[in-house]
Chains A and B, each alone.
Chain A
Amino acid sequence: MSYETAIGLAMLGVMIAAIFLGFPISFTLLFLAFAFGWWGLGDVVFNLAYFQSIGLMKESLLAAVPLFIFMGFVAEQAGLMERLFSALRLLLAPVRGALFIVVIVTAAAFAMATGIVGAAVTVLGIMAAPIMMRSGYDGQLAAGAITAGGTLGILIPPSVMLIVMGPVLGVSVADLYAAAIVPGFMLAAMYVAYVAARSFFNPKLGPALPKSERAASVWPVLRAVVLGVLPLAGLVAATLGSILAGMATPTEAAGMGAAGALVLAAAYRKLTWAGFQRALMQSLATSSMVLVLALTSNIFGAVFARLGAADWITETLLAAPLPPALMLALVTVLIFLLGWPFEWPAVILVFLPIFYPVVNGLGVDLVWFGALVAVTLQTAYLSPPVAMSAYYLKQVAKGWSLATIYKGMFQFMAIQIVAIALIFLFPAIATWLPDYLFRSGALVVSEPPTTTSADPLGESYDQMYQRSLENLEQ
């Protein structure tokens, strides 16, 4: 091991210790990259950091991040979830465990219009928790359904997490989106099957709704469903559809989605000045948080690689006498454990780049690996005691104790672990759709025409790093 590599590994160790203190991760990373980088590399570290920064600011793929976040906040204000929820509630009222199923289906549908977690859990909590308590639903199962359903937002496209993950793994975001769709809806179906079976065999957990809560005739119900579902379906088809059909880049789809959500909100007469302003401010804070972390962890990663520590870790791990499947399982478990104390931006941007060369060296399908990581990190949202969704729910459903919420989440966490095992053992769950759409020739992907010859779209962070090295040499 060279002197520089030792500095790089020391930097990694200090970083892990330092970010546990709780100071904002971005600023800790920036300083450590400067300090250790200057020690090991000299003044060149400042230029390296600068080229990484400006490279990230010019990465047009990541413009999809603020746009999808904005789309989610506007769709939330448009009351799309409320409409869907009340329509489905009327439709499913006679079924045992109706409200559990309604919560999960609403959450899965809304996940296609938002890319983050928070909002869905909060809105579902406000809408569903009071009715569930009133109707004598089991608190644990109810809290579990709300938190589990709400976390589908970061898995099911347009997940912001997958956009950020694409360049880390060097795969296209469209591939990752296609790979997350089947696992996402498989999970939703597993949740529904679980709550339906539990309440079928024990109706006390979730009774069918009383006659007074049911609709008198079927027509108003169908009308409500159509009015609630159709606009959302149109929005989803326009955004996800255009990405999966290869017609638009994720950035273009996100822009169209944001505009579409604004039109929907206006059509429902829910677009207020204050609400619009609030959506703008929330979008700014959320996207700036994610992207500043992307920028600083890119600088950190570039310094780490330049010091030779990244190669050293890869070579050491690949030299270990472990079968590839076991190595992959270890990486997956490690990512799950990291998802406990850290939120997804930190895991994807800070730690995944350290594992990436190892996984790449094993020669596995990185699209499949991306889907596996996505489900693993979604599970981390459901793993008490550090689980954001529990806090979001507790804030709006004061009637449930944190212990009740945790017990409910544990049940759904077990379902998640089954799903992770299934995706691990049967990669086709994730890879079938992207293979069918993009890689088997079933569909000729026409790259959206851009006005440039050297198309910088979809550049991986690694390529960005290589380019910044070229810049340094000039």
Chain B
Amino acid sequence: MPLLTAAVRAIDRFAELCGVAIAWLMVPLVAAVVYEVVARYAFAAPTIWSFDVTYMLYGAMFMLGAAYTLRVGAHIRTDFFWERWSPRTRGVIDTVAYVVFFFPGIALFLWVGWDEAWYAYEIGEMSEQTPWRPLLWPLKACVPLAAALLLVQGLSELTKSLYAALTGRAFA
């Protein structure tokens, strides 16, 4: 058991550290938008890169942040009944749902995302939206990476729900 507890804590710590790194993407995101607005209105010199950089940072941030959001329990639940259920009932529901819904769904997502990202890398796919034409594989790689991070954090969450299901106490 102590080993399992240590593993859960290690995974949680990992998700938090990744979360900090990902949350900082907000800074370049704000900077890219502000730079574009100032360059356009103050200097009449719009940039060629800001549009692509903006959606890439936003897309990477919310996808990669999914695992951290799972760690802090911020993914939205229907709390209509949830509020009234005991820790044991919650543990049972979560355990079953992680095994039946979460792992198969995210694993499929990882598999599809990996194929597409690898293909984009191999053919050197570029964005068609602007003349800047940046490479797309880094953004596309965020899909399998986000799924992988979610699977790792899912192991920790599954262990916690199993603990609650077996002992009737929330994992603390």
Residue pair A288, B65 in contact (C-beta under 8 Å): yes
Residue pair B130, A452 in contact (C-beta under 8 Å): yes
B23 to chain A, nearest CB (A): 4
A54 to chain B, nearest CB (A): 7
List B contacts of A105 (CB < 8 A): none
Would you list which residues of chain B between 59 and 74 have a CB under 8 Å from chain A? 59-63, 65-66, 68-70, 72, 74
Known: A20-B81, A283-B26. A62 touches B74 (CB 8 A): no
> Does chain B have a CB within 8 A of A289?
yes
Residue pair A54, B37 in contact (C-beta under 8 Å): no
List A contacts of B58 (CB < 8 A): 57, 60, 62-63, 65-66
Q: For the complex, what is the distance from the CA of A66 to the CA of B32, rounded to whole Å?
A: 14
Residue pair A58, B78 in contact (C-beta under 8 Å): no
Residue pair A31, B24 in contact (C-beta under 8 Å): no
List B contacts of A252 (CB < 8 A): 33, 36-37
Q: For the complex, what is the distance from the CA of A293 to the CA of B70, rounded to whole Å?
A: 12
Residue interface mask B20-44, A partner, CB < 8 A = 1: 1011101001101110110011000
Residue interface mask A188-208, B partner, CB < 8 A = 1: 000000000000000000000
Interface size on A, residues (CB 8 A): 70
Known: A252-B33, A452-B51. A26 touches B76 (CB 8 A): yes
Residue pair A281, B23 in contact (C-beta under 8 Å): yes
Residue interface mask A27-50, B partner, CB < 8 A = 1: 110111010000000000011011
B35 to chain A, nearest CB (A): 9
Residue pair A386, B79 in contact (C-beta under 8 Å): yes
A246 to chain B, nearest CB (A): 13
B37 touches which of A255, A281, A291, A340 (Cβ 8 Å): A255
Known: A20-B80, A59-B55, A293-B76. A50 touches B113 (CB 8 A): yes
Residue pair A284, B105 in contact (C-beta under 8 Å): no
> Does chain A have a CB within 8 A of B126?
no
Residue pair A25, B129 in contact (C-beta under 8 Å): no
Closest A residue to B22 by CB, please name it.
A284
B41 to chain A, nearest CB (A): 8
Residue pair B75, A27 in contact (C-beta under 8 Å): yes
| Chain B binder among A322-330, A341-349, A351-359, A362-370 | A341-349
> Does chain A have a CB within 8 A of B2?
no
Q: For the complex, what is the distance from the CA of A448 to the CA of B29, rounded to whole Å?
A: 19
> Does chain B have a CB within 8 A of A67?
yes
A24 touches which of B30, B47, B76, B85 (Cβ 8 Å): B76
Q: For the complex, what is the distance from the CA of A18 to the CA of B116, rounded to whole Å?
A: 30
List A contacts of B142 (CB < 8 A): 57
Give the dominant DSSP class at B's interface: helix
Residue interface mask A50-74, B partner, CB < 8 A = 1: 1001101111101101110010000
Closest A residue to B101 by CB, please name it.
A31
Residue pair B76, A259 in contact (C-beta under 8 Å): no
Residue interface mask A440-474, B partner, CB < 8 A = 1: 00000000111110101000000000000000000
List A contacts of B124 (CB < 8 A): none
Residue interface mask B87-124, A partner, CB < 8 A = 1: 00010011001001110111011001100100000000
Residue pair B29, A63 in contact (C-beta under 8 Å): yes
Q: For the complex, what is the distance from the CA of A20 to the CA of B75, rounded to whole Å?
A: 14
Closest A residue to B131 by CB, please name it.
A451
Q: For the complex, what is the distance from the CA of A405 to the CA of B24, rounded to whole Å?
A: 38
Closest B residue to A341 by CB, please name it.
B80
> Does chain A have a CB within 8 A of B135?
no
Residue pair A292, B77 in contact (C-beta under 8 Å): no
List A contacts of B30 (CB < 8 A): 67, 70, 255, 258-259, 262
> Does chain B have a CB within 8 A of A80?
no
Would you list which residues of chain A between 56 and 109 have a CB under 8 Å from chain B? 56-60, 62-63, 65-67, 70
List A contacts of B82 (CB < 8 A): 22
Closest B residue to A262 by CB, please name it.
B30
> Does chain B have a CB within 8 A of A216?
no
> Does chain B have a CB within 8 A of A425?
no
A472 to chain B, nearest CB (A): 13
Residue interface mask B117-152, A partner, CB < 8 A = 1: 000000000000111100000011011000000000
B34 to chain A, nearest CB (A): 5
Q: For the complex, what is the distance from the CA of A414 to the CA of B109, rounded to whole Å?
A: 45
B55 touches which of A46, A49, A63 (Cβ 8 Å): A63
B131 to chain A, nearest CB (A): 6
> Does chain B have a CB within 8 A of A272?
no
> Does chain B have a CB within 8 A of A287?
yes
Residue pair B77, A25 in contact (C-beta under 8 Å): yes
Residue pair B74, A285 in contact (C-beta under 8 Å): yes
Closest A residue to B120 by CB, please name it.
A54
Known: A62-B58, A284-B69. A54 touches B76 (CB 8 A): no
Give 9 CB contacts A-B under 8 Å: A21-B78, A47-B112, A54-B116, A57-B55, A58-B139, A60-B54, A60-B58, A62-B58, A289-B76
Known: A34-B104, A256-B34. 19 other contacts (CB 8 A): A18-B101, A22-B78, A22-B79, A23-B93, A24-B70, A24-B75, A34-B105, A50-B112, A60-B54, A67-B30, A70-B30, A280-B24, A284-B23, A285-B69, A288-B69, A293-B75, A340-B80, A448-B40, A452-B51
